[in-house]
Amino acid sequence: MDNFRAFRIDEQDGEVVAAFKELSIDDLTEGNVVVRVSHSTINYKDALAATGKARILRRYPLNGGIDLAGVVVSSEDADFQPGTEVLVNGCGLSETVDGGYSEYARLKSDSLVPIPEGMTTVEAMQIGTAGYTAALAIHRMEQNGQTPDQGPVVVTGATGGVGSIAIDMLQRRGYEAVAVTGKKSEEAYLKEIGATRVLLRDEIDLGKRPMEKALWAGAIDNLGGDYLTWLTRTMNYGGNIASIGLAASPALNTTVLPFILRAVCLLGINSVETPYDLRRAVWSRIGTNLRPRHLGRIAQRTIAFDELPGAFQAYIDGKVTGRTIVEIN
């Protein structure tokens, strides 16, 4: 196989450097399946890794990109024959193994998920890690008894990829989805994709007492910090909080009172190390009863592979709404 291009992240003299490189298959991390990558995505985590704002990679060098979709070109696993369309999200991509910012990827077959029936590789990446994480959160909440008739589910960081797709999926499932955002200019967008109400982050009274007035039956939180504390204070009895991100802060300052007096449940969501059977089950739901209805609105940006290096700073600056697709091949 000829050499190919990859966007490779390395460390030199203690500094993170990232650039396009020419590689061969033998340069890639080990795997028993080779995929010709058609599309990837940009996530906040990708921007942190590529700019060195956070040490996401656990080894250097590695190709960036925590998502990929493409077609199997060679395989040592009979379950993934050449020509099979597959996706990978998480599973150590751009942390311990080479990621999706590459024209080819070599992967272990237990990280591959067949693209759901009726879904294209583009749609799979419009959903990507962000949509998978949102679906995993809803799946876990429903396993823990969440139902639409219990009341509203609030989503913080609502204009991001996870938040946007979570709102879309919640609406599809019949939930009343309430969006929390710092972007007043995006109120119309949030209502268009399924939010029944929009709360502006700076106008929320976060409260000071261990428990405040109960407002929510459930929550999907991308922020952490004071906003996650506020959610613990304002959940209804038995409410589920799916903790996904730390865009505001990794800290959590609360008491045990919401948990022992209101039976609030705090569910940690890890999309990287999900067991294989659960990963496939969630993607099966994404292809059916959690399939987003507004992907064209949420993921309307597609950039060429060459444009990738210039696209990360907007994520660091918090100026991105929705999803960005990267066309690799």
- Rounded-to-integer distance, Cα 185 and Cα 183, Å: 5
Q: Distance (Å, rounded) from C-alpha 296 to C-alpha 167? A: 14
143 and 281 in contact (C-beta within 8 Å)?
no
**CA-atom Rg of the chain in angstroms:** 20
The answer to whether residue 122 sits within a structural domain is no
Residues 135 and 246 grouped into a single domain: yes
| Token duo for residue 295 | 């992907």
Binned at pLDDT 50, 70 and 90, residue 138 comes out as: very high
Q: How many CB atoms lie within 10 A of CB 243?
A: 20
Domain carrying residue 155: 129-268
- DSSP for residue 329: -
The amino acid occupying position 75 is S
pLDDT in tens, 1-57: 789 999 999 999 889 999 999 999 999 999 999 999 999 999 999 999 999 998 899
Query: Are 42 and 133 found together in one domain?
Result: no
pLDDT at 24: 97
- Number of domains, the chain: 2
Contacts of 235 (CB under 8 A, 6+ apart): 214, 215, 216, 217, 218, 219, 241, 258, 262, 264
Per residue in 272-328, pLDDT (tens digit) is 999 999 999 999 999 999 999 999 999 999 999 999 999 999 999 988 999 999 999
In a domain? residue 16? yes
First CA to last CA distance, the chain: 15
For 93, residues 6+ apart whose C-beta sits below 8 A from its C-beta are: 65, 66, 67, 68, 99, 100, 111
Q: Do 183 and 305 belong to one domain? A: no
Residue 238's CB is within 10 A of a number of other CB atoms, namely: 15
CB atoms within 10 A of CB 143: 10
Six-digit token pair at 103?
């024209």
User: If you average pLDDT over residues 195-199, what whole number do you get?
Assistant: 98
CATH at 85:
3.90.180.10
Given 268, 290, 317, which residue is the final one in a domain? 268
Taking each continuous run of H as one helix and of E as one strand, the counts in the chain are 9, 16
81 inside domain = yes
Q: Confidence class of residue 99 from pLDDT cuts 50, 70 and 90?
A: very high
Residue 244 near residue 130, CB atoms below 8 Å: no
CA distance 251 to 142: 26
Return the structure tokens found at 69.
């979709």
Which CATH number characterizes residue 232's domain? 3.40.50.720
Examine the domain organization and report whether 99 and 218 are in the same domain: no
Q: Quick one: 162 and 73 in the same domain?
A: no
Residue 22's pLDDT is: 98
Q: Which residues contact 233 (CB under 8 A, 6 or more apart)?
A: 206, 207, 209, 210, 211, 212, 254, 258
Residue-level length of the chain = 329
